[in-house]
Structure 1
Amino acid sequence: MTAAEVEAPAEVEPGVYDNVASEVYHADPVPDGSLSSTGARKLATECPAAFKHWVDHPEPYKSAFDFGTAAHKVVLGDGPELVLVDRDRWDTNEVKEQIRKIRAAGNIPLKQRDLDKVNAMAEALRAHPEAAALLEPGSGIAERTIIWNDRGVWRRIRIDWARHDGTLVDYKSCRSANPSKLPNHIADYGYHQQQEYYRDGALEFGLTELVCPFKFIFQEKEPPYLVSVIELDSTACGIGRHLNERALNTYALCRAADDWPGYVQTPLVSLPPRVEREYR
C-alpha cells in the first residue's frame, strides 16, 4: 500500500499517537493538510511553488526506500513486516505479482542479501555501547506520531525513538558515519532543522524538556557497519529553529492567500566570489 492509496480520516485531534502505520502518516492524516519536517525543510530552502508541486505530486514509491525502512524495522523493532523473496530474479511476472501483494499488504519485500545486511547492521549497532544503551528495549517508544496546531498551522512529526527520560533519538543509515564528514551531510539534508522541528512537537506534549538531549545515530550501510552517535551544537540548533520559523511563516502566508509564488527575480547577477578573487 502506498501513501497515495491511503485516505485521510474525517478529522484529527492534536495529540501523541502510537501504532500509526507509516503509509497513513506519510499520506498526511490531517484532512486540510499539515506541515511535516520534510515539508518545512523543503519550504525553507526552495520557493513556495516548488513546495506546492511536491505536495500535490507525491514522489512515487521507489524500491530503494525499502532498505532504509527495513533497517529501521530491525533496529527500532517497529514498522512493516519484512518478507523474504528468495528468488534469483525479480523481473518475472510471477515474482512481480508476489512483490505487488507484499507491498499491497503494507509489508517490505527483501532479497536474502538485503535481509542479511540489515540484520548484520542491527548486530553491529547492538555492539556499540552508546547506541545500544540509547535504544535499549523498554527505554522508550518507537515511531511516535505527534500532531499539533501551532498558531493556526497544523504540524506533524514521527519520532524514531522517544525515550522515557526525555531524550529523543533519530536513526539514520548512511554511506559514511565518519564524524569529519557528518557536518556537511547534516547541513545538506537539513537534519539540524529536523531536530528542532521534532523537539517542538515533543515539547508541546511534555515528552521532552529543553535540557534533554537529541541524539542522532548514524550507521553505515556497508561492512563493518560503523556507528557514530552525535549531538548538534547550539549554533546548529539556532539555525534549525530559524529555518523552521521561516518555513512556518511562509506556509501560513501562502495558505491564507492561496498563492504559492516561484523564484524572486534578480535582474542583476554577480559572479561567485571565488571567480572575482581570481581576477583581483
Structure 2
Amino acid sequence: MTTVVQAGATTAPAAGPEPITEPGIYDMDNETYHSHRYALSSSGARKLIEASPAHFRYEQDHPQPVKKIWDIGNAAHKLVLGEGPELRIVDYDRWDSKDAKREVAEARTAGAVPLKRPEYEQVHEMADALRRHPVASLLFDPEHGTPERSLFWRDDRTGVMRRARLDWLPNPRSGRLIIPDYKTCVSAKPEKLERVIDDLGYHQQDDTYRSACHALGIADETSAFVFVCQEKTAPYVITVIEVNATARRIGAARNRRALETFAHCTATGYWPGYSDDVVPVALPGWAETRDTLEYL
C-alpha cells in the first residue's frame, strides 16, 4: 500500500501550494486539496466537457462562495466520517437579523458550518440512521478505515497530474476491497438515483476514483466503489449503489476526453468556449414540426 504523506498548508507559498509531482496518498485539509489546481479532479473533468474550458478556467480563477444549500451535506459528512469542519449552532429562528448574520459570518470565517438548531438535530439523526444501516455502518466503521485522504497520480497517456479526495480509505485487507463515497440526496430511490448519476456525473467520479486506487496500488480490478446515498428528510433512508459496467465505460470515455482537453489547453494557454467557429443552429424539433405544418 502507498505510504501516506503529510502535506500541510503551512508550507505553501502565497501563490499556492508547492506542486505535488510524486504519486501518493496525502494527508491534507480540504482547502489545501482544492488549491492544487494544476491537477485535474473529477469535478473539473465534468466541468470541462459539460460546459467548456472557458467555464472551467473561470471557476478555478473565481472560486464559488460558500452556499447555504451545501451546509446540510457538509455537516452530515462531518458526522458520518468523523472528520471535517466544526458544526456551530446559530440559535435564531431567522437569520435575517443583524446578530444572526454576524454569527453566521463569524462561523464561516472560522471555517465552521453554521446551522439552525433543527438542522443540527437533523444531521445528527442522519448520522444515527446511517450507523443503524447494516451495510453503510460497516463501510464507514472507524476501526477499519480512514476519512478524507487525498490521492495524486499521473495520467500515463497525457502526463496530466490527477487528484481525487476519498471520503473513506479502507484499511488494507485480503479479499475484495469496497471503497465508499457518501452522498446526501432528495430521494434514495434507485430509479431516482439513475437520473442523479447522469446529472451530477457520478459515473465519472467512479472512474476517477477507481483509476486513482489502481494507479496507487490501493485496489485491484476485483475491488468495488460504491455510493452511500442518504435522504435529507426523515426517516433518512439510505441506498448503497454501484454504477454498472456500461455507465463506468461511459464515465471513463468522458474522463479521457476531459484529460486530453485539459492537456491541450494547459499546453497552449488557451481555454475556449463552446466553439470558435460559426455554429449553424435550428429550431427545436417540436417547433420545426409545428411551423412546417402551419407555414410550409
Structure 1 and Structure 2 fold alike (TM over 0.5):
yes
**How far 1:276 sits from its partner (Å)?**
5.4
Unaligned runs of 5+ in 2: 1-13
Q: Where does 1:60-71 land on structure 2 (aligned, <5 Å)? A: 60-71=65-76
Q: 1:59 maps to which residue?
A: 64
TM-score, normalised to structure 2's length? 0.84
Q: In 1, distance between residues paired with 2:291 and 2:124?
A: 52
1:176 is aligned to 2:176: no
**How far 1:92 sits from its partner (Å)?**
3.0
Identity of aligned residues (%): 44
Q: 2:92 maps to which residue?
A: 87
Q: 1:232 maps to which residue?
A: 243
Q: 1:17 maps to which residue?
A: 26
Q: 2:5 maps to which residue?
A: none
Q: In 2, distance between residues paired with 1:186 and 1:217?
A: 13
Cα offsets for 1:113-152 (capped at 9, x unmatched): 0110001111111121111111112111111111223242
Q: Where does 1:158-197 land on structure 2 (aligned, <5 Å)? A: 158-164=165-171, 165=173, 166-197=177-208
Q: In 1, distance between residues paired with 2:180 and 2:137?
A: 12
Q: In 2, distance between residues paired with 1:132 and 1:272?
A: 49
**How far 1:13 sits from its partner (Å)?**
4.0
Q: In 2, distance between residues paired with 1:87 and 1:253?
A: 51
1:126 is aligned to 2:124: no
Q: In 2, distance between residues paired with 1:267 and 1:218?
A: 41
Secondary structure of 2:68 counterpart: coil
Secondary structure of 2:102 counterpart: helix
Give 1:137's aligned amino acid.
Answer: P
1:219 is aligned to 2:224: no
Q: 2:164 maps to which residue?
A: 157
Aligned pair in 2 of structure 1 residues 93, 248: CA closer, same or farther (>3 Å)?
same
Q: In 1, distance between residues paired with 2:185 and 2:159?
A: 36
1:266 is aligned to 2:279: yes
1:199 is aligned to 2:207: no
Give 1:192's aligned amino acid.
Answer: H
Of 90-99 and 258-267, deviating more is 90-99
Aligned pair in 2 of structure 1 residues 277, 92: CA closer, same or farther (>3 Å)?
closer
Cα offsets for 1:174-217 (capped at 9, x unmatched): 00000111111111110000111111112221121121011111
Aligned pair in 2 of structure 1 residues 267, 275: CA closer, same or farther (>3 Å)?
closer
Larger radius of gyration, structure 1 or 2? 2
Aligned pair in 2 of structure 1 residues 45, 89: CA closer, same or farther (>3 Å)?
closer
Aligned pair in 2 of structure 1 residues 275, 182: CA closer, same or farther (>3 Å)?
farther
Aligned pair in 2 of structure 1 residues 130, 261: CA closer, same or farther (>3 Å)?
same
Of 39-48 and 257-266, deviating more is 257-266
Q: 2:11 maps to which residue?
A: none
Cα offsets for 1:83-110 (capped at 9, x unmatched): 2222334333333333323222222121
Cα offsets for 1:29-68 (capped at 9, x unmatched): 35xx221110101112222222222222221111221111
Q: In 1, distance between residues paired with 2:288 and 2:145?
A: 52
Kept in 1, the 8 Å contact 2:17–2:32? The answer is no
Q: In 2, distance between residues paired with 1:207 and 1:279?
A: 59
Kept in 1, the 8 Å contact 2:91–2:116? The answer is yes
Kept in 1, the 8 Å contact 2:152–2:164? The answer is yes
Give 2:59's aligned amino acid.
Answer: W
- Aligned pair count reads 271
Taking only aligned residues, the RMSD between alpha carbons, in angstroms, comes to 2.3
1:249 is aligned to 2:254: no
